[in-house]
Amino acid sequence: MTADPIDPVRLAIPSKGHLYEGIIEILKTAGYKVRRASDRQYEATIAGQPRFHVVFMRPTDIVLQVQEGRCHLGVTGMDVYAEQAFEAQEAAVVVPDLGYGGCRLVVAAPESWVDVGHVMDLVDLTAEFKAAGKTFRVSTKYPALVRQYFRKWGIYYYQLIDSEGALELHPSLGIADVIVDLTSSGVTLKDNRLRELAGGIVLDSAACLIGHAPSLSSLVAEGETGPLALLLDAMDGVRRSEGLLHLEVVGSPAAPGTETAAAVAAYLRGQGAQHIARGEVWDDGGGPGWRVTALVAAKRLTACQRALFDLGASRVVGLPARFVFDRDAASTFDDLKERLAAQVAETSRG
């Protein structure tokens, strides 16, 4: 099932949790406000976007529905997608990191194992377990990823314990010897007397946007004014603007022989500002002045304002940047279009 130009574009979103909250905020900022009457409603529309039909479901189900083509686009965790990617050949990653939900899938062992600090130590340890007639047990919710990762390190003698509950207790309860689980800060592991092994990052994960490959081809064919292009362009603009202010610094001409605007621009450049531009301005009375505009990290502005006044600025204004579009920046839609074209070319050569 692919997207027909006259059919709705079905977008699957997690029904709750941080994956839900993050994408709802991104879409809202991008001008795609989701209309959902309550958290018990599993279908919704997007204001002013009649082609889009939103459905809510579990992140694990989203990959399957996108794979089957029942949903054309879906938001899930990269960990969830990667675990099912071995069986979801029709589901493709459109945006690998939406800018929120960051975490990592790691191998963690009890802190009391002082001789086990690196994942390579498990090679000998699992062999020792096997020689002693014992089974080395690994608790995880990601069996496919763990098998692939352990195979890379030459770890073969182990048994996977599949569990959907809290894995941190498994070593202390004797259910497993080590765990492979998600962590962001590592605090939960530490609180349960577990330690992340060096070299033990199985996967870096974040919220991602995936799509049904045949449907993506149809939607890309609708061109730069089609619903997919407009959505991806808007999301690009929002993601590039995150944490940035559009800064305007205005002042009167300095004493003869000085370059106040140039000094301000140089200072902002040193503070990591982007897209710096200088120009002339005139006040209501026709008096001349100068203006410097830039994009600057919001967290830096307060620390900059006194220095800007010392350089000769008379006014400093910072406004939230809702969208940032840059001619030279990568475009998700253009990148997707090129990837799909390359796949078609590769298939035809095969």
Model pLDDT for residues 65-108, shown as the tens digit of each residue: 999 999 999 999 999 999 999 888 889 999 999 999 999 999 99
pLDDT of residue 257: 43
- The span from the CA of 59 to the CA of 74, in Å, is 9
User: What radius of gyration do the chain's Cα atoms show?
Assistant: 26
Same fold, 9-99+206-241+329-349 and 103-204: yes
Model pLDDT for residues 255-265, shown as the tens digit of each residue: 444 588 999 99
Percent of the chain with pLDDT over 70: 96
pLDDT-based confidence at 222, cuts 50/70/90?
Answer: very high
pLDDT of residue 4: 57
Model pLDDT for residues 225-235, shown as the tens digit of each residue: 999 999 999 99
pLDDT at 350 over 70: no
* Cβ-proximal residues to 298 (8 Å cutoff; 6+ apart), any chain: 243, 244, 245, 318, 320
Model pLDDT for residues 294-308, shown as the tens digit of each residue: 999 999 999 999 999
Tokens, residue 232: 């991806």
Model pLDDT for residues 4-18, shown as the tens digit of each residue: 555 899 999 999 999
pLDDT of residue 5: 55
Write the CA distances from 49 to 23, 53, 214, 227, integer angstroms.
16, 9, 22, 8
pTM: 0.86
Model pLDDT for residues 258-294, shown as the tens digit of each residue: 588 999 999 999 999 999 999 888 878 888 889 999 9
pLDDT at 313 over 70: yes
Return the CATH number of the domain spanning residue range 244-320: 3.30.70.260
pLDDT at 197 over 60: yes
pLDDT at 324 over 60: yes
Please report, as a single letter, which amino acid is at residue 270. G
pLDDT of residue 256: 45
pLDDT of residue 46: 95
Q: What topology does CATH give the domain 9-99+206-241+329-349?
A: D-Maltodextrin-Binding Protein; domain 2 (3.40.190)
pLDDT at 158 over 60: yes
pLDDT of residue 88: 80
pLDDT-based confidence at 218, cuts 50/70/90?
Answer: very high
pLDDT at 2 over 50: yes
- The span from the CA of 340 to the CA of 103, in Å, is 29
Select 103-204's CATH number: 3.40.50.360, 3.40.190.10, 3.30.2270.10, 3.40.30.10.
Answer: 3.40.190.10
- The span from the CA of 56 to the CA of 40, in Å, is 10
pLDDT of residue 110: 96
Least confident span in 52-66, 236-250, 284-298: 284-298
Kindly report the average pLDDT of the chain as a whole number. 92
- The span from the CA of 212 to the CA of 6, in Å, is 17
Would you list the domain boundaries of the chain?
9-99+206-241+329-349, 103-204, 244-320
